Structure 1
Amino acid sequence: MRMKNLNFGCRRSDFLVTSSKDDWFIQCRFYEEGQDKPFTYRRKLNRFKSEKERKAIEKSLLQQMTELLDEKDYNPRTKQFMFQEGQINQYSNIAEALRQTLKNKEFTPEHKMNVELHLGRFLEALTNLDLGYLKIKDIELIHVKQTLESLKLSNYTFNKFKVHLSSLFTDLVDEGYIKVNPCTGIKTKKHIVERKEIFTNEELQQIEKHIKKNYPHFYNFFQIFYLSGCRVPELLGLKKSDINLEKSEFTITLKKGQLYVREKRAIIPNALPFWQDQMENALFDDDYIFSFFYQPGEDIMHRTYVYKFWTKKIMKEIGIDKGIYILKHTFLDKVEEAHYSAQIMAGHRDDRTTSIYTVGREKRRLEAQKQIQIKAF
């Protein structure tokens, strides 16, 4: 009698179909660790009277019984699945395990969306390479690397995929489902870092005049964004209570992957008039200072409104093919050109730069920001 190995140390015999007139059934012997005798897993078809009907049911029932034992880890003796559906274990399918791990991650919505996109493409490629059958315990570096290579990604995107997948595999290692993160041994690919575009002074003057004349409600946002070095979502998340004009400071929430950090930033002297003007219309502490129509209000505005406004009202109308984040790059370039530290103004949290500050060092950074003099347009 031929035996098939199942998960959790179980085995089963081949299925036997008995098709006598009086007794028609499908069965196999189910063996499990800790049990002296095998369990007979049997399903009868006697209630179906005609042979034609029995033949039709026999095929689907055999398929169902095979799937329950071989793929879903069903124990016919206890009539239970050996692990609950949705619970990860070392025998879980690779796709199921990674998706469930991502579901449990506390990422920011934007970051989670990026990881979901990369994971989806990775799993699709894994299936195309006929590797979709792999259990999480069987996944190795070669499987991940071959799958990533098959996607023919740019070096930069390859590295991004690897980082996102590695964060998921790290959790599986922590839970003991796998021993080694298969992404650890995959080398990071070299890529050329292109020099970021910046606006010329003439372009800045043209944009400033266009906004002031045609879209004055956007003017304060334009100047504050340009002179802050912040990201768009960071400004849109600012409430009146986050801003201290007396100290020339504001507090943003940095959202980077899994990291949420509250960090103080300085209002540089050239930007102060725009902050003061914007704050005059903020009535309550919980008001976002840039709500809809770029005016203070109780509702947070999504960053896509800003991007679309810039594309339609600025780029297309003026004829300048540069996105709004070129303002940030331009400001940081001018900060560096004036011999200030662009890294400190931008507030990057990289281990090689400004990573972890002591309290005294953080205060010195903030005071240094307040001394920056960059001309507003």
Structure 2
Amino acid sequence: DEKYQIVHDYIQENYPDFFRYFKIFFLSGARTSELFRLQKKDVNLVAQEYKVTIQKGREYIETIKIILPQAVPYWREILDMCKSQKDYLFSKGLKPGDKPIQPYQITKRWHRLIKSSNKIKDKDGKIIKVTEDFYSLKHLFLDKLDQASDEEINLAKIAASHRTDSITKVYTV
């Protein structure tokens, strides 16, 4: 998708800390609330996985999620910035710290830096207005996984930690 690529390149060029989070989020299929609770001790980069607690209805389930090979450099970068195993990966400024930040802050950041921007332009210099929400990225990724999988292995369902195919179908096209 051309618009996605333009936004991707704009964030990469102008907001490196946000870009790192953007890539980890996009390639993980995880929720922002899950990623914002992650501490360095929860990540095993050698095994390319991380441990997260997911709320499904009224219950909490500890789950192991995979880190895709394309995402490893971004995970390595954020982990190398941590000063202790207890550091939250995404604290103030989307950098490691001892206090987690709230998920709504991504929505605010996306609105301020991307949706309200007049600086995002196509190759002809025409301003690109972004109307999509940040979570649209996750759904785009799940769509791509859904297209790549077969009925036996629903990768989008696994990445998003959905219990049933019917929930995943709500978010994939």
* TM-score, normalised relative to structure 2: 0.83
What's 2:102 paired with?
302
Q: CA RMSD in A?
A: 1.8
Which whole-Å CA distance do the structure 2 matches of 1:351 and 1:331 have between them?
A: 16
1:256 aligns with 2:56: yes
Specify the code of the residue in structure 2 equivalent to 1:299: K
Equivalent residue letter for 2:4: L
Match of 1:276 in 2: 76
Written as runs of structure 1 = structure 2, the 5 A alignment for 1:335-346 is: 335-339=145-149, 341=154, 342-346=156-160
Cα distance, 1:353 vs structure 2: 8.0
Counting only pairs closer than 5 Å after superposition, residues 6-21 of structure 1 correspond to structure 2 as: none
- Alignment gaps of 5+ in structure 1: 1-200, 355-377
8 Å CA contact 2:157–2:163 kept in 1: the answer is no
Deviations 1:43-98 (A, max 9, x none): xxxxxxxxxxxxxxxxxxxxxxxxxxxxxxxxxxxxxxxxxxxxxxxxxxxxxxxx
Alpha-carbon distance in structure 2 between the residues aligned to 1:256 and 1:281: 31
1:245–1:321 distance in 2 versus 1, CA, 3 Å:
same
Structure number, greater radius of gyration = 1
Aligned to 1:331: 141
Describe the shift of the 1:353–1:231 C-alpha distance in structure 2 as closer, same or farther (beyond 3 A): closer
**What secondary structure does 2:81 align onto?**
coil
Shift in alpha-carbon separation, 1:351–1:258, aligned structure 2, 3 A: farther
CA distance in 2, matches of 1:223, 1:280: 16
Deviations 1:279-323 (A, max 9, x none): 110121110001110000000100111110001111221421000
Q: Partners of 2:167 and 2:96 in 1: how far apart?
A: 35
TM-score, normalised relative to structure 1: 0.39
Whole-angstrom distance in 1 between the partners of 2:115 and 2:52 = 28
Percent sequence identity over aligned pairs: 37
Any idea what the Cα deviations from partners look like across 1:147-197, whole Å, max 9, x if unmatched?
Answer: xxxxxxxxxxxxxxxxxxxxxxxxxxxxxxxxxxxxxxxxxxxxxxxxxxx
- Write the letter of the residue equivalent to 1:322: E
Larger RCO (CA under 8 A, 6+ residues apart): 2
Q: Give the letter for the 1:286 counterpart.
A: K
4+ residue runs of structure 1 moved beyond 3 angstroms? 350-354
Contact 2:51 2:64 in 1 (8 A): yes
Q: For 1:206 and 1:351, locate their aligned partners in 2 and report how far apart those are by CA, in whole Å.
A: 32
1:237 matched residue in structure 2: 37
Secondary structure at the residue paired with 2:28? coil
| Preserved CA contact (<8 Å) 2:36 2:90 | yes
Q: Residues 245 and 328 from structure 1, CA distance in 2 versus in 1: closer, same or farther, beyond 3 angstroms? A: same
Query: Pick from 202, 219, 226: which aligns with 2:2?
Result: 202
